[in-house]
Structure 1
Amino acid sequence: MLERVYIVRHGVRLSWFSSNWDKEASGSGLANDDPLNEDGEVQVQELARHFESLPKDKQPTAIFSPSVPEDRCLQTAVPTSVALGVPIFVETGLAEFLHPVIPGTGLHPRSPNAAALQHLFPQIDPTWSPVWIPSRRGETMAEHHTRMAEVARVLLPSATRNQLHRSILIVTHVVPAIALSRALVNNTELSPRVGCGSITELVRGRYISMKEDATACEDTTAETSAWEPVVVAGTTHLSKGILKDWGFEKLTGKVEPVPGVAGTETKEDSPVGSQVVTTAS
């Protein structure tokens, strides 16, 4: 049974400091698909050393990361994947918050699949099929929170269906990192300031059930209980501490729509949503 989830925000990205980078070298070719800078490179090595230092039963045995913008998330995941010898699974449901597109201007770019990224990141295991596909029309902030709650609902059971994982690592962007944490702990008021390379550690919640004679109680793991935070946006493993932290208090006013990709105005926005087939019991 899955007992522990780590949520990591990607390392510090280069474009915050410089526009001098090879945009053609990214897997998607997107202008905002920039790699990590020197601080980010240090952070991801420190993340790997931290996870490698944990007791074996607390080390993640699988890593989940979105594919676009893939450079900074997958770059962040690679050193830990190598250090622990565990696979990276590309999960599109963990993608960054997607601004709504301006009507009539097209759709957001489609995420590259795992097989298309293996030449850049050989640690990717292409056998994983994404459990959630975001709408390419974008989303409101409320819809993003709904998306992450649904991703949590289908991802965690799917991650352990065919292989036993006691701990998994999710590497993503700051907005989905907070929204996912809120969904798992069942607390929409959770408002951490999440720095690059920070770690949120959650353990499966527990409940107290009274025995029939009411003389004792038993602490048992509940499948449906909320997850409990052990650490929220922790940075003690990072030599430079908190860098480029962000919290929802910085989000003011209405989220502005953005243009879609030219040439996709008539494209269908499908598939969308959960890709997990459920059957009635």
Structure 2
Amino acid sequence: MRGGRRRVQSCGQASFPPAHTRRRPLAASFAPPPSASSRPSDHNHLQNVLPHSRGLAVLLAMLDTIYICRHGFRMSWVGAETFLPTGRPRDPVLTAHGQSQARHLADYFSSFPASERPQLIVSSPYYRCLQTSVPTASALELELVAEPGLAEWFPTVTPRTGVHPSPARAQYMQEFIPQLSLSWTPMLYPDANGESISQLHARARRVLDLIAQRCEELGVKRVLICSHAATIIAMGRVLLNDDTDGKRTKFIGAGTASLSKYVRSNSEGKWTQQLNGDASFLPGGVEREWHFGMVPDNVNEDGMGQGWSDPEAPATKPTTMQTKL
């Protein structure tokens, strides 16, 4: 994220050359999800499940393992000029170093036995996250899909500064990341007016719930999620039931291209953390670690300016986080 009242660095990207490698088609590995008309609405389902921490445990019962990684080292951290191949604001590319980190992450996953490898990659639609995911998707021949509910955290907008940009559609991003599959229907969008820290944790709980439900439909037991520092910290806390106001004490590692691993430990759906921001496979170790102590609880951030219109703002949003917390 970047700052308004206080400017804070957000979680960024450079360009991978198109790697036209063979991917395992989603349809060949997993049954397609039922149509929207044949399954209950996400909104109604979540109203029943999300207020109770046990709801997430029940929905995650089909998943054995959740891997969560942060994107690699991004270009906007090393100079004033940022190459934006997508033309989208706040969507920088990885540096050459960040690309190298992504390849090391792929090599690390390739060393896993088949029974421990992820079966699907669900990424934030931001270029830096997709770019980080491509080497692993190629190495393991996995489907790579984009979920806007995993997007960057932008704090509540400063009054009279407009809105934040929405995550771009997968159809748009596929022009720049040809490995990106269009098989995934987006399920959640963050509020373009920004989020408080509490609202971010609520979004993390909701998007994990939705991804778990989709994985259950697809028969996926091990999933890799690629996202941004604040979002992955919030998701880690959700999985460890440390996401409510007054708690949030657990440290979740969030260095660039680092990896956390969460495994369901029993039939009640309790999750344990087996890796916490692991960077042992990266030559540079932990880099650009981020945590919520770097920002005040009431942080605001400037929007894109009054009158700015986002061409990628969805016309209809499946579910939008506008929780009043």
1:266 positional shift: 12
Q: Give the aligned length.
A: 253
**Residue 269 of structure 1: how far off its partner (Å):** 9.0
Shift of 1:28: 4.2
Q: Distance in 1 between matches of 2:270 and 2:257?
A: 24
Per-residue Cα deviation, 1:175-204 (whole angstroms, up to 9, x for no partner): 000000100111232123421011000001
Q: Which residue of 2 aligns with 1:145?
A: 201
Q: Distance in 2 between matches of 1:20 and 1:88?
A: 29
Between Structure 1 and Structure 2, whose CA radius of gyration is higher? Answer: 1
CA distance in 1: counterparts of 2:130 and 2:172, whole angstroms: 13
Amino acid across the alignment from 1:19: A
Amino acid at match of 1:274: T
Q: Indicate whether 1:19 and 2:103 are aligned.
A: no
Q: Aligned match of 1:204 in 256, 264, 275?
A: 264
Structure 1 spans left out of the alignment, 5+ residues: 207-220, 276-281
Counterpart of 1:192 in structure 2 is 252
2:279 counterpart of 1:235: yes
Q: Which runs of 5+ in 2 are unaligned?
A: 1-61, 243-247, 321-325
C-alpha distance in structure 2 between counterparts of 1:180 and 1:91, whole Å: 14
Match of 2:32 in 1: none
CA distance in 2 between partners of 1:159 and 1:75 (Å): 22
Equivalent residues in 2 for 1:127-146, closer than 5 Å: 127-146=183-202
**4+ residue runs over 6 A deviation:** 265-270
The corresponding residue for 2:307 is 263
Tell me which residue corresponds to 2:136: 80
In 2, the alpha carbon distance for the partners of 1:266 and 1:132 equals: 17
The answer to whether 1:29 aligns with 2:88 is: yes
Q: CA 1:101/1:265 → structure 2, altered by over 3 Å: closer, same or farther? A: farther
Identity %: 29
- Worse-superposed segment, 116-125 or 84-93: 116-125
Q: What amino acid is aligned across from residue 258 of structure 2 in structure 1?
A: S
Could you state the TM-score of these two structures normalised by the residue count of structure 1? 0.83
Structure 1 counterpart of 2:236: 181
Instruction: Determine helix, strand or coil for the equivalent of 1:103.
Output: coil
Q: Deviations over 1:2-51 (max 9, x none)?
A: 2100000110111111234433x2x2431x31111122111100000011
Query: Retained in 1: the 8 A contact 2:263–2:271?
Result: yes
Q: Hey, what does 2:114 align to over in structure 1?
A: 56
Query: Partners in 2 of 1:150 and 1:201 — Cα distance?
Result: 19
TM superposition score normalised by structure 2: 0.72
1:104–1:56 Cα change, 3 Å: same
CA distance in 2, matches of 1:229, 1:7: 11
Asked whether the 8 Å contact 1:9–1:199 carries over to 2, the reply is yes
Instruction: Kindly indicate which of the two structures has a greater share of residues assigned to strand.
Output: 1
> What is the rounded CA distance, in whole Å, between the counterparts of 1:65 and 1:166 in structure 2?
17
Post-superposition CA distance 1:159-180 (Å, at most 9, x none)? 231x221211000000000000
Give the AA of the match of 2:208: A
